[in-house]
Structure 1
Amino acid sequence: MAQASGVVLPAGAQAVHTVSVRAVAEAVGQAMAAEGAACVFGDAGRGKTVALRMALSDPPVGWSVSWARVPVRPSVSELRRAVFEALTLAGRFPHRSAEADERIIGALGQARVLVVDEAQRLPVPCLEYLQSLWDHPQARMALVLCGAGSERAVARVPQLASRICAWQEVGRLAAGEVAATVPAFHPLWAGVADGEVAWIDQSCTHGVFRTWAALTTHLQNALLSVPDASVDRALLRRLFRRLSPPV
C-alpha cells in the first residue's frame, strides 16, 4: 500500500485513474490533518466519486467515513436527514431540528470524514448548514464536498470557500494514462494492444472514465451473449453507437 497525507491507498488504486486517486487522497489527507474542508470537482464522468471512494477505502486508525448523498436542491431539513442517515445514528430521525442537530454533533465529536456527494445540488442555506456543523466547537470532522460544479456552488458561500484547505480537480485521462489505467480497471482490456486502446479512446471514450466503464459493461455483456465473439473493431464500433444518442 502507498500512503498520502495520512490516507492509505489500497493496492488496487491503479485500477482507477491513478493520478486522480493519489491527488484526491492527498487533498483529503490535508483536510483530515487540519480537520478542515476539501472540494473535489471536475466535469461529469471523470471518476471523482470512484477516486474518492478508493482514497477513503482504508482511512487512518481512529477515523470513520460517512457518505451523504443529497437530492436535487434539498431543503435544510432534507439535508439534515441525509446527514443523520449517513452517520447511521440509532433510532428514528427526530421531529425537532434542534434534537437532530444535537445528535449529529454528538456523532461528529469523533474523528470523521463527512463526504457530501453531488454537492453542486446544494443551495446556499444547505452549504451554510454544513459549515455550521463543521464550525461547531465539539465537531472533529473533515468535510469533503464532491461533484461536477461543486466548486461553483461553494464559491457562492464566501465564508465556506475561504475555509477550503484543498481544491482538487479531477480531469480527463491523459493519452499516456489510458494504456496503463484501462487494463488495470478490467481484465477484458488486458489482452488488447495499446494501439487499439488508443484507437478506442480517440474514437469514443476521449479520456472520460465513465465512458470507459460503460463501454466495458457493454463489451462484457456482448462477450457473454456470444461466447466465441472476438474483440475487434466491428464489435467495438457497434458498441460505440450505444454510448451516444443519435444525431
Structure 2
Amino acid sequence: MPQHFLGLADANILATTQYQLADRIIRDLIAHAATGVIHGPAGAGKTFAMQAGIETQRRIAGEDRISAHTLAFPSRPSMLRVAADLIATLTGAAPPTSRNRFQLINQLIGLLSGTMKLIVVDEAQRLNSDCIELLRHLHDHPETRFALLYVGGDGCWEVLSREPMLRSRIFRRLPFRPLPREAIPDLIRAYHPIYDGADDALLLDIDDTFAHGVMRDWAVLTHTAADLCHDVGQDRISEAIVANAYTLLGGGLHD
C-alpha cells in the first residue's frame, strides 16, 4: 500500500466511500481503456486513494499486465513539453530534444500501443486546451491502448469540463470532499490507536479547530500528537496533548 503521510506509523486506512470508489474507478478505466477524473481540494486523500487503487489492480492483474505512469506538469505547459515528458515517463530515458511535434506524437502512438497502460496526469488543472486536446487525440487513436486518469485539485473539473471533446469522453468522475463532520468521531477512532476511546466532543473540536475534514490535516495533527504521547509515555490523546499539538502547529488555527 502507499505510505501514509509523513510515514505516520500505526495509521489505518479509512475505507471511506470516496476511497472505495477511487479503487472502482481505476478498475473500470483499465477494463475499458477509458478516461476518468478524480478531483477535489488539496489534502482530501485523492493521491493516496489513487495510488492504493493502482497497487490493487497490479496485484489482481499482475505487474506485467498493467503499466502505470504518473506525471505532472508546470502551470500551462506547452504541447511539446507534455509530449516530451510523457515519452520520458514511458521510456525511463531523458526527454527527447526534438521540436517536431508530429514526430513526438508518432513516437507516443507507438509507445502507447501494445500492453495496457494507465496514464495518470496529476495536477490536471494546470493543463491548457492544447495539451488536453493532445492527450485526447492520443487516447482516441485506433492504435493506442491505455486508460487515462486526470487527478487535480481546486479548479480541475472547471478546466477539464470546458473542453467539450474531453467532457463527452469522461467515463468516470469522482469528486473528493472533506470528511463529513458527523462521521468524524467513528472514522478518526479507527484511524490511529491514539484516538481509541476518545470522546466525540474532543474529536469534533479538533476537526472544527484544525482539520475541517481534511485528511492531510488530520494526518499532520496525528503525527504531532503521537510524538507528544510517546514523549510523556501516554498511549492515548488527552486535552493537554491536543493543546500542546496546537501550539506546535501554530496555535491550531488556519489563516
TM-score interval for Structure 1 and Structure 2 normalised by the shorter chain = 0.7 to 0.9
Question: Alpha-carbon deviations, 1:26-70, whole Å to 9, x = none?
Answer: 222222222110011122221111111111112142222111122
Q: Which amino acid aligns with 2:147?
A: A
Match of 1:181 in 2: 187
Other-structure match for 2:226: 220
Aligned to 1:31: 29
Q: Per the alignment, do residues 157 and 125 of structure 1 end up closer, same or farther by CA in structure 2, a change over 3 Å counting?
A: same
Aligned to 2:78: 75
Q: Which residue of 2 aligns with 1:102?
A: 106
CA contact (8 A) 1:15 1:182 kept: no
CA distance, structure 2, for counterparts of residue 157 and residue 112 of structure 1:
24
Q: 1:70 to 1:184 in 2, by over 3 A?
A: farther
Structure 2 gaps, min length 5: 1-9
- Indicate if the aligned counterparts of 1:17 and 1:181 stay in contact, CA closer than 8 A: no
TM-score (norm 2): 0.80
Percent identity between matched residues is 27
- Distance in 1 between residues matched to 2:29 and 2:94, nearest whole Å: 31
Q: Matches of 2:84 and 2:239 in 1, distance apart?
A: 49
- For residues 209-234 of structure 1, give each alpha carbon's deviation from its aligned partner in whole angstroms, at most 9, with x where no partner exists: 1110111222234345x343673213
2:207 partner amino acid: D
Is the CA contact (8 Å cut-off) linking 2:224 and 2:245 kept in structure 1?
Answer: yes
The residue number in structure 2 matching 1:162 is 168
- Structure 1 75/42 Cα, relative in aligned 2: closer, same or farther at 3 Å? same
Contact 1:39 1:167 in 2 (8 A): yes
1:150 and 2:176 equivalent? Answer: no
Q: Which amino acid aligns with 1:130?
A: L
For the aligned residue pairs, the C-alpha RMSD in angstroms reads 2.7
The residue number in structure 1 matching 2:123 is: 118
Q: Deviations over 1:148-177 (max 9, x none)?
A: 122111112110111001111111112343
Equivalent residue for 1:233, pick from 219, 229, 239 = 239
What secondary structure is seen at the aligned counterpart in 1 of 2:55?
coil
Q: Which amino acid aligns with 1:111?
A: M
Q: How far has the Cα of 1:99 moved from its partner? A: 4.3
